[in-house]
Amino acid sequence: MTEVEPIGTWDMIWYASRVLLALVVLVPLLYYVLRFLGRRLTVSRSIKGSMEVVDILPLGGGKQLLLVKLGERVLLLSISKDRVLFLWEVPDGEIMQVEPHQSQDRTLNDLKQWVDRWRKGRQGDERGEGEDS
């Protein structure tokens, strides 16, 4: 039998540095690829296609605003870790009939108006006045 020559110290350091470099490059690369694919593969449509998440606005702290299309209705929902609140229903066909940049401006203006009305109602509720919901 032939004798195998032992690996020298420099060879061992060279191999270890290559493995370490591969791990430093491959692990983050694999993480970001899987994270990207996970977002792309997330189901944003229901199985029968009657429900669709149109847009998501992260607010921080586990809170989000979701624009959801349910059949012909478009709803604005507030999502937090422990609850889902209905905020507003978009008037029929408003989003789909307007140009994309205009629809965002109109929807944003409508949302701002709704938030202002909601804030006024909250202030009125604190004083014992205001609208009943």
State pLDDT tens for residues 38-69. Answer: 766 665 556 677 888 888 888 888 899 998 88
User: Does 133 have pLDDT greater than 60?
Assistant: no
User: Does 119 have pLDDT greater than 60?
Assistant: yes
Average pLDDT, the chain: 77
114 CB contacts (<8 Å, ≥6 apart)?
A: 87, 88
Phi/psi of residue 86, nearest 5 degrees: -80, 125
Tell me the sheet residues that pair with 79. Answer: 64, 84
Q: Percent of the chain, pLDDT > 90?
A: 24
User: Does 34 have pLDDT greater than 90?
Assistant: no
Q: What per-residue confidence (pLDDT) applies to 44?
A: 55
**Cβ–Cβ < 8 Å for 66, 80:** no
**Cβ–Cβ < 8 Å for 73, 52:** no
Q: What per-residue confidence (pLDDT) applies to 106?
A: 64
